Copies of this chain bind each other. A is one copy, B any other.
Amino acid sequence: MKLHNYFRSSASFRVRIALELKGLSYEYVPVHLVKGEHKQGEFAAKSANGLVPMLELDGGERLAQSMAIIEYLDETHPEPALLPKDALGRAHVRSLAQSIACEIHPLNNLRVLKYLVREMKVDEEAKNTWYRHWVRDGLLAFERELSQLPQGTYCYGDTPTLADCCLVPQIFNGKRFNVDFSGMDRTMAAFDACMKHPAFQKAQPSNCPDNEP
């Protein structure tokens, strides 16, 4: 398997965590988003949407969208499971993951921030306010969602799930922009638990071959 990804991309980080949790080896193919490598050459020719991550299977099939890739990995390599066994538990975990992947991250990714600056002529401060607004607002909603569920070590239960794969990169991202994480005790406790787990440690941006300090 080849994972086309970028060390700082949150969505790439999600898939790297899942691969480490599953203990699956893969070839790391860096795609430098800031240099525009996703829009040119081999990657652009292979990718339909020009986005990372893209998982290229040994048979040549190419998969896009981090949550779809993680569910594929979970279905084809069931242990350790990244989703609960029961339908209700699965719905809660998917909902938590989507609270981040559909409500927060799309508003703060690189191409959206670029559009605000280049096309809308928004200044640096307004861009950062926008960023922090959606991340903090979204994580407070995530905290309320968590607080309606039984407490566990991680977001849902005592083993990492798809929800944790999505949460950790979002917190990393928020820290870069100095987001205020107060009032999110359950969320930050799950984050802290994840960061003690070797899979999350190994997958983090600073351990990527294309990391830039």
Task: Point out residues on A near B: beta carbons under 8 Å.
Answer: 48-51, 61-65, 67-69, 71-72, 75-76, 87-88, 90-92, 94-95, 98-99, 101-103, 105-107, 112, 115, 119-120, 122, 126, 129-130, 133, 141-142, 144-145, 147-148
Contacts and interface: CB of A to CB of B under 8 A. Distances in A.
Given A106-B102, A106-B106, A107-B106, A144 B91 contact: no
Chain A interface SS verdict (over half): helix
A117 to B, nearest CB: 12
A71 B145 CA distance: 19
A112 to B, nearest CB: 7
Contact of A102 (B65, B126, B141): B65
Ranked 4 nearest A-B pairs via Cβ: A106-B106, A68-B94, A72-B91, A49-B141
Count of this chain's copies in the oligomeric assembly: 2
Nearest to A49: B141
18 contacts: A48-B145, A49-B103, A62-B148, A65-B95, A67-B94, A69-B91, A71-B90, A71-B91, A71-B94, A72-B87, A72-B88, A98-B101, A102-B106, A103-B106, A106-B106, A107-B107, A120-B122, A120-B126
A93 B169 CA distance: 24
Given A48-B141, A50-B141, A65 B120 contact: no
Contacts of A107: 106-107, 112
A149 to B, nearest CB: 9
